[in-house]
Chain A
């Protein structure tokens, strides 16, 4: 008797899914957004997409915001959920979630965002055009411009770089940074971490050998940026971060790049184009390397603490200042 009860309960439970499919069809335009983990930069992308679409007049869109909690095995579950709901369009934020969406959906448009190298990630075949149902925005950070900028601010001979060996994007950026340093005649000192708890020790290990530290858009290192900032400030070493949106929270000298909210807005505009009927195959991967998209963040308090004079031309270029603990935006 007991066993029969349990089986009946399981049967009712499973039949619940059949209803789930029926309900989802009644919605008009649904956009599914799947992100790999809740993280300030990725949350900003999500917000940017929704704000851009609202500003473009898409007010009746239903959003299904999903998050894999860092567990990559759920990425496919999320893709299946979107498929079952018959979303009009799915957005993947970060590489693995986008790959899972592109694998599961063959006739629903898939837009990737915050993917550094979409060809390397197998999402599209070429940088010049999109796939039959896949296109998106790359978050390739302007490494060359960033290293040139920290060089013009601090006049460095050696550059230290901390990155996570487990993040495809971070490994790629590290190799680009190495090449850029080689071209500019700067010595490159690299060290890798596997999780955010190791970041502080990795910084301490290289801090005495470098004139500046470069932090790329590496999720693991950015999430432990306060420990990098702490060690570097004590040693009097400037930091150049590729992420201006998190720079205000930490004592780092400079940040140069685009903010993820801005990238979210660009993604949102792309989504709107596709909702209006432009086929994804006609839209190539979009980049955020235009100079007007880049934000230069300078912290004058840190400059004073480490005894660095910020030249006038840099001051002119800067979009955001931190002075006496206050953030000034131009």
Chain B
């Protein structure tokens, strides 16, 4: 079971990386995620069912998610719509588009299809148990994503992106158009979310239009739990702690299911726990900040 937590934490960790880029780096609360996650799942499922290689499908899922993010950024940039509302608009539209991608179905099964996971486990059959192979595969995938993102955030464009979340005015003074930066950042974030959705569909054995429910909240909770774990300014550590936060979040949810009945907790209460976790992380961060300020003042 412990490998189940890690695998889920890693799969959703890619989504949390996307949420982290918008919420923390860009300071752009983006709700498109609730639509781009099932979109990635839908693209992956449709291509697998039609016999296309899952690797090509993964790239297409990323492109699909990227496009969805760009739509949000364009609505926000051109129509002067607040970013929250722009995200909600795209998310709503994606619901219909996702049903179209799934070929007018709400749910597409992959139970018997050949996915990346079945390929990986048949490749390592004999010398690795299936769950270990899947875990190893996702560790590799997530490490690759962190390395790539770390590289990206060290390029000029990546650095500008980070600077813009801190101080938009400064970026404008440097002669950079913040609208273009938002387009790139929000697109990248949703591309990652869609990739995460594509992996989740293979892991769960189906793609469903309602897969996006609760994604933003789970992502936020994971980001905040991660911040609770360690503090740093290094982007590679920031990215890693996001994934750690995601694993820990899945772990807490598992604990709630496993031991919850000792304190009369039912599975219905898990949503409340998610919310309380976010509130708790926020409160602790606030208290820490106040302490630091007081120390700085004295």
A-B contact count (CB 8 A): 139
When the two chains form the complex, which single residue of A76, A99, A167 contacts B106, counting CB atoms closer than 8 Å? A167
Contacts of A78 in B (CB 8 A): 257
Return chain B residues, CB-CB under 8 Å to A96: 107, 204, 206, 208
25 A-B pairs with CB atoms under 8 Å apart are A6-B228, A17-B2, A21-B1, A66-B267, A67-B268, A68-B267, A69-B271, A70-B210, A71-B214, A72-B208, A72-B213, A73-B204, A74-B270, A77-B4, A78-B257, A80-B4, A81-B258, A84-B1, A100-B205, A102-B205, A103-B203, A120-B109, A122-B111, A123-B109, A125-B112
Minimum CB–CB distance for B86 against chain A, Å: 20
Known: A17-B1, A81-B254. 19 other contacts (CB 8 A): A14-B2, A67-B268, A69-B268, A71-B213, A72-B210, A76-B203, A80-B1, A80-B4, A83-B4, A84-B4, A96-B107, A100-B206, A103-B206, A120-B109, A121-B109, A122-B111, A122-B112, A166-B99, A168-B208
Any B CB within 8 A of the CB of A20: yes
Inter-subunit contact A13/B268 (CB<8 Å): no
How many residues of B are in contact with the other chain, CB < 8 A? 47
B270 touches A168 (CB 8 A): no
Kindly provide the distance from the CB of A260 to the nearest chain B CB, expressed in whole angstroms.
19
CA distance A125 to B107 in the complex (A): 17
Q: A122–B106 contact, CB under 8 A?
A: no
When the two chains form their complex, are residues A165 and B106 in contact, meaning their CB atoms are under 8 A apart?
yes
Asked whether B200 is an interface residue with its Cβ less than 8 Å from the other chain, the reply is yes
* Max count, chain B CB within 10 A of own CB: residue among A21, A70, A71, A120: A71
B105 at the interface (CB under 8 A from A): yes
Query: Is A204's beta carbon under 8 Å from chain B?
Result: no
Task: Indicate which residue in A69, A95, A171 contacts B267 across the interface (CB closer than 8 Å).
Answer: A69
Chain A residues 53-72 with CB under 8 Å of chain B are: 65-72
Closest-CB distance, B146 to chain A (whole angstroms): 19
A159 CB-CB contact with B under 8 Å = no
Residue of A nearest to B253 (CB): A77
Question: Which residues A91-136 have CB closer than 8 A to chain B?
Answer: 95-96, 99-100, 102-104, 120-123, 125
Query: Which residues, 227 to 243 on A, are CB-close (under 8 Å) to B?
Result: none
B209 and A166: CB pair below 8 A?
yes
B residues near A16, Cβ cutoff 8 Å: 255
Smallest CB–CB gap between A73 and chain B, Å? 7
Q: What residues of B have a CB within 8 angstroms of the CB of A73 in the complex?
A: 12, 200, 204, 211, 214-215, 218
On whether the beta carbons of B111 and A102 are closer than 8 Å, the reply is: yes
Pick from A21, A73, A102 the residue with the most CB of B within 10 Å. A73
State whether the Cβ of B137 lies closer than 8 Å to any Cβ in chain A: no
* Chain A interface, >50% SS class: helix
Q: Does A1 contact B (CB under 8 A)?
A: no
Residues of A within 8 A of B106 (CB): 165-168, 170-171
Tell me which residues across on chain A come within 8 A of B257, comparing CB atoms: 66, 77-78, 81
Q: Chain A's nearest CB lies how many Å from the CB of B71? A: 19
Docked pose: A102 CA to B112 CA in angstroms: 9
Kindly list chain B residues whose C-beta atoms are within 8 Å of the C-beta of A14: 2, 251
Task: Determine whether A201 belongs to the interface, using a CB cutoff of 8 Å to chain B.
Answer: no
Tell me which residues across on chain B come within 8 A of A81, comparing CB atoms: 1, 4, 254, 257-258
Q: Given that A3-B230, A70-B213 are known contacts, is A17 also in contact with B248, CB under 8 Å in the complex?
A: no
Chain A residue with the shortest CB-CB distance to B267? A67
Cβ contacts B240-271/A at 8 Å (1 or 0 each): 00000000101101110111000000111011
B209 to A, closest residue via Cβ: A166
Instruction: Select from chain B the residue with minimum beta-carbon distance to A75.
Output: B204
Which residues of chain B have C-beta atoms less than 8 A from A121's C-beta? Answer: 107, 109, 111, 206
> What is the bound-complex CA distance between A167 and B206, given in angstroms?
14
Interface string of B93-126 (1 = CB under 8 A from A): 0010001000011110111110000000000000
Contacting B204 at CB < 8 Å: which of A103, A167, A171? A103
Residues of A within 8 A of B159 (CB): none
